[in-house]
Amino acid sequence: MRTLAVYPGSFDPPTNGHLDIIERSSRVFSRVIVAVAVNLRKNAFFTPAERVRMLKRLTSTMANVEVTSFRGLLVDFARVQEAHILVRGIRAISDFEYEYQMAHMNRKLDQEIDTVIMMTGERHSAISSNIVKEIAQFGGKIDDLVPPLVRDILISKLKGAKRR
């Protein structure tokens, strides 16, 4: 049986924790679509196109992973892709309540879509995109939190923002 899963998120920026979930998902499912959410309520640091480009480069060696962006309801996107599985990663028990509510709401919106929750690897459990950005803004070391590609792009973009 071939299985297609969608792993949605803001990925602003992609972290080692995100890559952990993507890599592990690629071993479980036949195909994984990493879906960068365009959320109009969030003030993202990176544009959707920048996040998609980073993720495409980071997953280029994973033949069964593709990256795209979407706007609107996740279940609508999954339906168009003909995916019946949503992958969500949780770092700590504090993430569980939100993901639990979202899984039930997505199931209510489309009975054909199930959510699979993966625990982020222990060494990535304290990493969040917001923490990464904050540490980087103050010149802290983020080498263990994001891949070198993301580190370099984030630092470059922060330097450009300071010049303005």
User: Active site residue: 24, 53, 84, 91, which one?
Assistant: 91
Rounded Cα distance between 15 and 58, Å, is 10
Quick check: 36 and 68 in contact, CB under 8 A?
A: yes
4-9/31-37 β-pairing:
parallel
Is 53 among the residues known to form the active site?
no
* Cross-strand partners of 35: 8, 68
Catalytic entry in 10, 25, 26, 129: 129
Q: How far apart are CA 87 and CA 108, in angstroms?
A: 17
Verify whether residue 124 is a known catalytic residue. no
- Is 42 one of the catalytic residues? yes
Active-site choice (42, 71, 104, 123): 42
18 catalytic? Reply is: yes
* C-alpha of 98 from chain center: 16
- Contacts of residues 100-108 at CB distance under 8 Å and 24 or more positions apart, as own/partner, are 106/74, 106/75
Catalytic residue set:
18, 42, 91, 129
